[in-house]
Structure 1
Amino acid sequence: MDQTHTRALEALQPFIHLANSTSTSSPRLIANLISNATSNPQTYFFAELLENPTIQSLRSPDTPAEYQGYLTLLEIFSWGTWEEYQSTPNLPALSPEQTLKLRLLSLLTLSVTIKHLTYENLMTALSITNPAELESLVTAAIYSSLLTGRLSPASSPPTVNVTSVAPLRDVKPQSLSRMISVLADWETRCGDVISDIEAEIANIKENAEKQREKEKARKSVFEKAIEECSSEKGGENVPSSRMARKMARFGTGAGGIGNKREFSSDDHDDDGYFENGSYGAVDPGLEGRMDIDEGTGSSRGARQVKRVLGRKT
């Protein structure tokens, strides 16, 4: 599509140069220039040529009637359709090349403005009576890169499915105000959407900040509660800690059996009894001493330890 656009601009330049270099405003010469420009198979833009002062000189009241219609014809080639040409009186007859060109340009406009491009709609708009002629026209447009699509003659009704159209039509000056209005409305809607998005983002950030502050306060309360609990129960945990150290030193606890060792004099509670994790009967004859029986064990010399605890003397 871009190459077609470039070729169309390049094809029009010789005609613009010829209009600029013309020293005389001969209506016949200008009419001949318009006919050649609209017959060229590569020209699809005509607005720049239409705005040329030499071409605009045909609007003069002194222009012969037989040439006055050429300026209107060039306007139809710029932004009009085949139907407009058919409905406008006093226009010059078209050559076969001009007929094909105007129908191709009209097909581009119809592909944008008509939702369902049926054979019937296109044949009526382009004054074509034979479906094969319509198919030939659409095929020529596709091979010229004017549009992309496919023919569906077997569908009901037969249709032309157009997927894209080359931007090769000029804009009618009277439609500029409407286009500006449409673009202004579109800009307003875009601004409203952006404002809504920004408000939603601000709301999300605000909620996230509140959630962070809430979590921070909850964590602070939790840590303070832990500190207060540890401070209040700190004194009660001392005996348990001393007992745990004693059990670790004796090698007891959790049903474990300690190794043979001597008891020190401070390994007792305030009541004067030794501790081994349980309180059993004490043999009065064994006060102040500890007997250790070593029995036979495994082949590695494992020893079975029997400890008898008594009251110290």
Structure 2
Amino acid sequence: MEELRALIKTQPRPLAPRIVHDLIQQALTSRHIFSFGELLDLDEIANGPQDDPWIQTLKMFAYGTWAEYVAQKEAHSLPELSDKQATKLRQLSIISLITDDPSVQQEGILKYQDIEKAVGLGEESQLEDLAIDCIYRGLFQGRINSQLHLVEECRLGNVERDVSPAQAVEIEGALTELLNRSQSVLDELEESIKQVEHDAHERNTAVQKYNQLLKTKPKPAGAPGGPGGPGSKTAKA
């Protein structure tokens, strides 16, 4: 992230299209940049031509996958990736595979065949080299099991993908729903508190009336304080 910020700060504003493309290519090639949100937020990119091949490729690296890049490469005239860029997009695609597959998160098992589909590499040695590099660099955690053709104890590492606009809408909707449910629970709780306070007030009022009634009720004859009883004026000495 710091490397990306440094790249952006060194450029004069406004950024010319050539500079924008150069920044994107440097970010996609860097072995240390895996989050592209700040680059996507640049005015020249956020408000730039969204059909620009390099801007579309940047979005692939931010929240797309290798399979999506291959599928859209010809239709959208996406640029050819360098070996370093291709490796990086494949690594990001593995992170998405781990993130999006509940079975991987629950069981911690990442099968070679699933990696092959995600990154488009058919040779097992290439898959293992790619997975080992990811583990070594902390992109995800795991242990290579060549005999079973899988990665065991697979867990996400220190890199997460950027949030896509569609995911942002889903998150916003989920948060709104959660907020509405929380507000509903809060309203019910406030009503319950008001009811408890009302009931307590009613009980206190009833107790006060009862005590007042006891004070004003005439006492039976012969009872302490009653007519003819001890302490009364009519009691005989």
Q: Shared fold by TM > 0.5?
A: yes
Match of 2:136 in 1: 140
Match of 1:49 in 2: 39
Match of 2:6 in 1: 14
CA contact (8 A) 1:116 1:159 kept: no
For 1:55-134, list aligned pairs within 5 A. Answer: 59=49, 69-90=53-74, 91-117=78-104, 118-120=109-111, 121-127=114-120, 130=124, 132-133=128-129
Shift of 1:14: 3.0
Q: Matches of 1:82 and 1:70 in 2, distance apart?
A: 15
C-alpha distance 216-70 of structure 1, shift in aligned 2 (>3 A): same
SS at match of 2:162: coil
TM (norm. structure 1) is: 0.53
**CA-to-partner distance for each residue in 1:224-249, whole Å, 9 max, x for gaps?**
669554233653789xx98xxxxxxx
Which of 25, 40, 56 does residue 35 from structure 1 map onto?
25
Shift of 1:34: 2.5
SS at match of 2:102: coil
CA contact (8 A) 2:4 2:33 kept: yes
Shift of 1:84: 1.5
Shift of 1:214: 3.4
Shift of 1:195: 0.8
Say whether residues 1:230 and 2:230 are aligned partners. Answer: no
Shift of 1:54: 5.7
Tell me: higher relative CO, structure 1 or 2? Use CA pairs within 8 A at least 6 residues apart.
2
Q: Matches of 2:227 and 2:180 in 1, distance apart?
A: 68
SS at match of 1:94: coil
Q: Matches of 1:219 and 1:196 in 2, distance apart?
A: 34
SS at match of 1:41: coil
Structure with greater Cα Rg:
1
Shift of 1:76: 0.7
TM (norm. structure 2) is: 0.66
Residue type of the alignment partner of 1:208: A
Q: Matches of 1:127 and 1:100 in 2, distance apart?
A: 11
RMSD over aligned Cα atoms: 4.3
C-alpha distance 56-219 of structure 1, shift in aligned 2 (>3 A): closer
CA contact (8 A) 1:19 1:55 kept: no
Q: Matches of 2:89 and 2:209 in 1, distance apart?
A: 77
**CA-to-partner distance for each residue in 1:114-142, whole Å, 9 max, x for gaps?**
2111423445323455474465255235x
Residue type of the alignment partner of 2:53: G
> Identity over the aligned pairs, expressed in percent?
20
Q: Matches of 1:51 and 1:231 in 2, distance apart?
A: 89
Q: Matches of 2:55 and 2:224 in 1, distance apart?
A: 100
SS at match of 2:225: helix
Q: Matches of 1:119 and 1:199 in 2, distance apart?
A: 50
SS at match of 1:88: helix
**Which runs of no fewer than 5 residues in structure 2 stay unpaired?**
none
